[in-house]
Chains A and B, each alone.
Chain A
């Protein structure tokens, strides 16, 4: 048996360990041979486009889906075999708002507290704390269906943490939420981590991914990279050149299709061009290519962002280079 709730994480103590986890839906391979280690006491992010297997992985990890192959150990429980006992220790927030819209905030919280078997005293205490911590006090008698996106997320998080889970699984919790609410939401997550909770959160926002202690990038069911965000940016096997010009579409046409160019991303009048790391003097290289096409542009080297990492690792499998070379 591993650890006790709300204790600081021991070194090398894993909240989640998956080996070769796979899941097929008919012909579709949603998750393929996933090896995953999530240490305790941190925010671990799943970054990936829609359909990359983030939701399926989270559902596999809490026993809602049976794996086609492989196995997972979550908080010391084999999943799915021992999923029932695990349920007391984890909190789960579905992608879609899944509390009762025709019940009030208070009624929803009370219902969930009872489902988790909290005593009367504990129920009252925890619900009061939750209302305060998640600024739901004034909304207590509002129907959940009338809440805004951000308020719903706070309510969902409050409900998912009433039983003080050791592990929180959050499936794209902020996809329907405004930027300020997202910031608040992440503050709340770090407050939970401070108390010893481990959080696995899936997202397709780069800024959120950057906030995670560690990150796994998923692409079409395969884990293509994982590590701390800064480490991933340092380890990227690409050089990034920033191109500024008056004719970005012409730049796009001139550079795309070249073997030495892995991707081009336009940001207004600027473009980020990814080249293999093997290319020497990348900015100079791009300048020459554009000059040959009679395009005037400013080119200079820049440091890779997480989005560059994301583009590099998710495109490598589709295009030229081989996969998972980014993995440390």
Chain B
């Protein structure tokens, strides 16, 4: 081993690295992004879970209970309804994670040990949310009124919706469809165009009458099919190996997947118009993948994140797809009930595709 040669290679490597601005940026970008996301955005001790209350007792004590629930910081009451059915509806749509049902005989129940006074209807598909709600079970109702009787029975009863057996596979597998599609679809398309540029095929292609739109659509369509095959594989494996339920319509699951695939492909094409090499395309796709997996609600509950992180997450297609797919598969709702997320994915597709087609020039400069 000759030190001079070793040094020659080492120095060359550093010189080349410095000139690859994207890679150089990743050296600092990745740790910063990771630290910030894990440190600030990720919080498994979730507070301020969105909740809805149906207060059928309407008494001073039930009002006090609500303010005490909010004071606990575990729940953040965003809606008040009057029936259990309305609570269920809000839960189904994913608008709240917890429903607090205070029955008309709330105060009488407080005095009886036989039945819990209040029902907490919890979206238990996410085990972290369920664990957070369970901290409420230790809460005692503060009695500062003239009613001198100490409650004897249990205050809360938790009813675990959507995942009564608390199996994490049930919760993870639907989201995994989204994660796998993000990983593969963005990268496939980003690389597809850049590969032609790198190999020199593109210079020939752009000198033919082929239009930008023809080229882009032709590149994207095969991958839509591949994406749908992937969805099918995950659904089959999830059902066979982990008994993941499909409570909604299979057709709607595919519609949601189709929208999500399209959004990711659009993004992949956009990336391909921004970079010069396949390696850069993969780097960019990875840069996008990281926040997607951490902020979308796939790994950590959305409610636990600070506002800024949630705003960023709203810009990621995976966030919307995770809401759709969990709604469809676990809560068994219909797609129309989740229309804001459907629109978000559609908008994302149209925007990224338009930008990609506009940015793609049939020129070399």
CB within 8 Å of B: which residues of A? 59, 62-66, 80, 83-84, 87-88, 90, 92, 94, 96-101, 112, 115-117
The listed residue (A64, A66, A88, A96) touching B200 by CB distance below 8 A is A96
With contacts A96-B200, A98-B201 taken as known, whether A62 is within 8 angstroms of B363 at the C-beta atoms is no
Is B204 touching A98 in the complex (CB atoms < 8 A)? Answer: yes
What is the CA–CA distance of A115 and B362 in the complex, to the nearest angstrom?
A: 15
The digit string for B179-220, where 1 denotes a CB below 8 A from any CB of A, is 000000000000000000001111111111110000000000
CB within 8 Å of A: which residues of B? 199-210, 362-365
Closest 9 CB pairs of A and B: A98-B204, A98-B200, A96-B200, A92-B207, A115-B208, A64-B364, A87-B209, A94-B203, A65-B365
Pick from B204, B205, B362 the residue with the most CB of A within 10 Å: B204
Chosen A-B contacts, 13 in total, with CB atoms closer than 8 Å, are: A80-B363, A83-B362, A87-B207, A94-B203, A94-B204, A96-B200, A98-B199, A98-B203, A101-B199, A112-B208, A115-B208, A115-B210, A117-B209
Which residues does chain B contribute within 8 Å of A62, judged by CB atoms? 207
What is the CA–CA distance of A328 and B236 in the complex, to the nearest angstrom?
A: 78
Is B208 touching A100 in the complex (CB atoms < 8 A)? Answer: no
Which residues does chain B contribute within 8 Å of A84, judged by CB atoms? 209, 362
Is B208 touching A64 in the complex (CB atoms < 8 A)? Answer: no
Q: Measured between C-beta atoms, what is the minimum distance from A77 to chain B in Å?
A: 13
Given contacts A62-B207, A64-B364, A94-B200, 10 further A-B contacts (CB under 8 A): A63-B362, A65-B363, A65-B364, A87-B207, A88-B209, A98-B199, A98-B203, A98-B204, A115-B210, A116-B209
The listed residue (B200, B202, B206, B365) touching A97 by CB distance below 8 A is B200
What is the CA–CA distance of A107 and B59 in the complex, to the nearest angstrom?
A: 79
Q: Measured between C-beta atoms, what is the minimum distance from B142 to chain A in Å?
A: 73
Is B201 touching A99 in the complex (CB atoms < 8 A)? Answer: yes
Pick from A63, A65, A98, A112 the residue with the most CB of B within 10 Å: A98
Q: Measured between C-beta atoms, what is the minimum distance from A16 to chain B in Å?
A: 16
Is B201 touching A115 in the complex (CB atoms < 8 A)? Answer: no
Is B363 touching A64 in the complex (CB atoms < 8 A)? Answer: yes
Q: Which residue of B lies closest to A159 (CB)?
A: B204
Q: Which residue of B lies closest to A63 (CB)?
A: B363
What is the CA–CA distance of A115 and B201 in the complex, to the nearest angstrom?
A: 13
With contacts A92-B204, A99-B201 taken as known, whether A66 is within 8 angstroms of B363 at the C-beta atoms is yes
Which residues does chain B contribute within 8 Å of A88, judged by CB atoms? 209
Q: Which residue of A lies closest to B208 (CB)?
A: A115
What is the CA–CA distance of A65 and B365 in the complex, to the nearest angstrom?
A: 6
The listed residue (A64, A80, A99) touching B207 by CB distance below 8 A is A64
Q: Which residue of B lies closest to A84 (CB)?
A: B209
Which residues does chain A contribute within 8 Å of B209, judged by CB atoms? 84, 87-88, 115-117
Q: Measured between C-beta atoms, what is the minimum distance from B364 to chain A in Å?
A: 5
Which residues does chain A contribute within 8 Å of B208, judged by CB atoms? 87, 112, 115-116
Is B210 touching A64 in the complex (CB atoms < 8 A)? Answer: no
What is the CA–CA distance of A101 and B202 in the complex, to the nearest angstrom?
A: 13
Which residues does chain B contribute within 8 Å of A115, judged by CB atoms? 205, 208-210
Which residues does chain B contribute within 8 Å of A98, judged by CB atoms? 199-204
The listed residue (A65, A66, A99, A101) touching B204 by CB distance below 8 A is A99
What is the CA–CA distance of A122 and B206 in the complex, to the nearest angstrom?
A: 22
